[in-house]
Amino acid sequence: LENQYRQSQKMEAVGQLAGGVAHDFNNLLTAINGYAELLAQDPTLSAGARAFVSEIHGAGMRAAHLTRQLLAFGRRQVLEPRVVDLNEVVVEVTGMLERLIGEDLLLATALAPDLCPVKADAGQIHQVLMNLVVNARDAMPTGGRLEISSRTVEVSPADAREVPDAVPGVFAELAVSDTGCGMTPEVREHIFEPFFTTKEVGKGTGLGLATVFGVVAAHGGHIRVESAPGRGTVFRIYLPRATEPAPAPADFAAARVRPQG
Ligand code: ADP
C-alpha cells in the first residue's frame, strides 16, 4: 500500500508537469512539421536534402504522437461511472482491438456469463484494454495467443490475510494474457512508473501502464501481474462489485429513447 501511495504521488506530479509542457510543445511541433512538409515540396531540393527533410518530418511526427499521449495522461480525466457489465464493455471494443493487433494475431475472449456488475467509466476501461492489448501484441512479434477473459472473484477475509496487499470483497476480474516474451523480475518492478519503457526509441512512451494504473486506482480497483520470461504475461484487473445490479441492455435502449424531463 505504501508503494501504491508513492506511485500515485509520482503520477500526480508527472501528470501536472506533462500537461503543461505538452501543450506548448504541441504548438512548436505543429510549426516544425508544417514547415518540413512545405520544404519537402520544394522542387529545387537535392535528393540528399530531401532525405534529411523526411527524417525531420518523421521525428517530428513521432514527437507529436508522444505529446498527444502526454496530454491525455496529464489531463485530469473526469470519471463518468455507471453500473456496467464489463463483458459488454469488452464486446464493445473487440472490433477496435482486433484492428490494433493486425491480422497475424488472434484475439480470443472467454467471458464469464455471470460476471458481477461494477461501477466504471466504460471509456476509460476501453483505454485500459487498448493499452494492455497493444503491449501484448508488442510482446509477441512472432505470433502467439492473446486472450481477454473475465470472471467473478470472491476474496474472503481469511484469503486476504494470506496474500500481501489483498482486500476482501467481491470483484469482477478482467485478465489480458499473452504468450509473448514475458518480463524479468527487474523489469516487472518498474512497469507502472511513468516513462519506463524497454521498447526502442520512438516506439514506446512508457505511459501505457502508468495510465492503466491511474485508471484502475481511480475506480477503487487493483492490478496483479504474472509474468515469466519467454513464456508470457497475464495482467489481472480487479474492480469492486457494484452494490446495484447492472441495467439490462434493453433498459439502456429504453432509457435513451425516453424523453428527458
Ligand atoms: P510502453 O508500451 O510505451 O513501453 P508501458 O507503460 O505500456 O509503456 O509498458 C512499460 C514496459 O512494460 C514495456 O516497455 C515492457 O517492457 C513491459 N511490458 C508491458 N506489458 C508487457 C507484456 N504484455 N509483455 C512483456 N512486457 C511488457
Q: Give pLDDT tens digits for 218-229.
A: 888 999 999 999
Q: How confident is the model at residue 57 (pLDDT cuts 50, 70, 90)?
A: very high
pLDDT number for residue 194:
83
b/e per residue, 76-115, with b = 16+ CB within 10 A? ebeeeeeebbbbebbeebeeebeeebeeebebeeebeeeb
pLDDT value at 8 more than 70: no
Would you state the cell numbers that stand for residue 30, as one nine-digit string? 505543429
pLDDT number for residue 259:
40
| Cα torsion angle, 72, 238, 171, 127, sign | positive
* Candidate from 133-142, 165-174, 249-258 with smallest mean pLDDT: 249-258
- Pocket residues for ligand 1 (CB within 6 Å)? 131, 135-136, 139, 178, 180-183, 187, 191, 196-199, 204-210, 233
Ligand 1 atom showing the smallest separation from residue 232 Cα? 24
pLDDT, mean of residues 195-211: 85
Predicted ipTM of the assembly: 0.98
Who wins on pLDDT, 184 or 70? Answer: 184
pLDDT, mean of residues 143-149: 95
pLDDT number for residue 186:
95
Ligand 1 atom showing the smallest separation from residue 178 Cα? 23
pLDDT number for residue 255:
41
What average pLDDT is seen over the chain?
A: 85
Would you state the cell numbers that stand for residue 131, as one nine-digit string? 493499452
Q: Where are the alpha helices (DSSP H) in 80-172?
A: 86-101, 122-138, 157-162
